Amino acid sequence: MVVGPTRLPGVVVITPRVYSDARGWFAETWQSRDFSNAGIDARFVQDNHCHSHHGVLRGLHYQLRQPQGKLVRVLSGEIYDVAVDLRRTSPTFGAWTAETLSSENRRMLWLPPGFAHGYLVLSEHADVAYKVTDYYAPEHERALRWNDARLAIPWPLPPGAAPVLSERDAGAPGLDGLECFD
């Protein structure tokens, strides 16, 4: 696997080695030793799979307590995947990074605990799978407004188009006054 940096320290793009032949292809998407050697010492406790349609924007989500590290990959389709640093003591607090992940490029994004996560579906449909390092705790789940002016994330939406949002995401607060990590 090849591990590459992003604009945020700790958030990395992972490209697995792919072995192809006449039958198709094979790739290891998680291997504890290799990830540990790359500085990712994660113990995953839950796998999630989400199917969404074009234009759906999920996020930006995080858990204030029981924070989750996430290893995100796309099984089918394409997404614009975003991580936002919500650690108040971090020099990159409020900064974001984004990567295009797809079933074609097979890249994955690792977000350690302390980051909000969200994505926009660019293809007709997308199946997104992600491993997390702590259990889902709805009482600690929070959301950050996807279009907060302070973040200025350039979501790749057609001019004048609005994403499809959940009611919770549509009403999420902005970065100012948000409950964040210390």
Fold of 2-18+28-170: Jelly Rolls (2.60.120)
Q: What is the DSSP letter of 160?
A: T
pLDDT of residue 113 exceeding 90: yes
Catalytic site positions: 61, 130
Query: With a threshold of 0.75, does the pTM exceed it?
Result: yes
Domain ranges of the chain: 2-18+28-170
Tokens for 91, please give them.
Answer: 């020099």
Closest CA to 75 of 108, 44, 53: 108
pLDDT, tens digit, for every residue of 48-97?
999 999 999 999 999 999 999 999 999 999 999 999 999 999 999 999 99
